[in-house]
């Protein structure tokens, strides 16, 4: 993901990611306030509750579009490696936490944070790949 | 896969950034190919060969 300013595919990816992340924050805060104030129930509550997931879908679409649009195949490969860091990390950590929940009295992990955990794992992979592909 | 990219580049007095600009890839990508950390696809290998007016086999060898 080098050439942050020159590569138009990277620029579009950053813009789309920021847009999706902003939408996620705005939707989550607004819906939390709406639930606090109006206490909706029934189908409306279900629809409102899952609405922030649309922003997450937007973020995933941004990643997919980047992989389609970037002409630099090495950078696409780096992105795929980073996604594997994220997927691998989140699978190992959530599975380990699940086992801990099953066999010990550890606190329940809220799956809402899975997506954040995924990007944290991607972030952990960044310095390793930067070192490899500097 | 080994390659002669560094030698060919040096013969022309190009930096990695110069070659990257000509291939429309990042400098990190040129470095990854040069050092054998990444094997280019066939289309990119053809682009490299055309740029150096050479054949793919003359630039890349399948030695490990």
ipTM for the whole complex: 0.85
pLDDT over threshold 70, residue A5: no
Percent of chain A with pLDDT over 90: 91
Q: Which residues of B touch A134 (CB under 8 A)?
A: 28, 31
The two structure tokens encoding residue A131 = 């070192």
**SS3 state at B2:** strand
* pLDDT the model gives residue A79: 95
| Nearest CB to A77; choose among B24, B27, B38 | B38
Kindly list the domain boundaries of chain A, sorted by start residue. Answer: 1-71, 72-134
**Mean pLDDT across chain B, nearest whole number?**
93
User: What does pTM read for this prediction?
Assistant: 0.85
pLDDT category of residue B1 using cuts at 50, 70 and 90: confident
pLDDT over threshold 70, residue A20: yes
Q: List for chain A the helix, strand, coil content (%; round to 5).
A: 80, 0, 20
pLDDT over threshold 90, residue A133: no
**More confident site: A6 or B19:** B19
Is A121 exposed, middle or buried, given 0-12, 13-18 or 19+ CB atoms closer than 10 A? Answer: buried
**Domains observed in chain B:** 2-54 (1.10.260.40)
> B21 touching A, CB under 8 A?
no
Q: CA A15, CA A28: separation in Å to the nearest integer?
A: 20
**Both ends of chain B: CA-CA distance in Å?**
5
pLDDT category of residue A86 using cuts at 50, 70 and 90: very high
**Range A65-74 average pLDDT:** 95
Q: How far B44 CA lies from chain A's nearest CA (Å)?
A: 8
pLDDT over threshold 50, residue B60: yes
Q: List for chain B the helix, strand, coil content (%; round to 5).
A: 60, 5, 35
**Range B9-18 average pLDDT:** 95
Q: Name residues whose C-beta falls within 8 Å of residue B9's C-beta, 6 or more positions apart in sequence.
A: B15, B16, B18, B19, B34
**SS3 state at A14:** helix
Q: CA A122, CA A44: separation in Å to the nearest integer?
A: 34
pLDDT over threshold 50, residue A2: no
């Amino acid at each position: 993901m080098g050439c942050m300013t020159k590569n138009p595919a990277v620029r579009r990816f950053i813009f789309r990611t920021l847009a999706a992340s902003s939408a996620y924050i705005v939707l989550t805060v607004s819906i939390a306030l709406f639930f606090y104030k109006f206490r909706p129930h029934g189908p409306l509550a279900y629809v409102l509750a899952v609405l922030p997931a649309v922003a997450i879908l937007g973020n995933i679409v941004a990643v997919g579009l980047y992989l389609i649009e970037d002409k630099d195949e090495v950078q696409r490969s780096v992105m795929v490696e980073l996604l594997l860091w994220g997927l691998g990390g989140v699978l190992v950590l959530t599975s380990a936490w699940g086992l801990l929940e099953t066999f010990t009295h550890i606190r329940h992990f809220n799956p809402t944070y899975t997506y954040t955990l995924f990007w944290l794992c991607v972030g952990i992979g960044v310095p390793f790949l930067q070192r490899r592909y500097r | 896969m080994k390659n002669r990219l560094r030698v060919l580049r040096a013969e022309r007095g190009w930096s990695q950034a110069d070659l990257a600009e000509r291939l429309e890839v990042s400098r990190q990508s040129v470095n990854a190919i040069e050092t054998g950390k990444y094997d280019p696809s066939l289309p990119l290998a053809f682009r490299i060969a055309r740029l150096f007016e050479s054949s793919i086999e003359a630039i890349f060898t399948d030695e490990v």
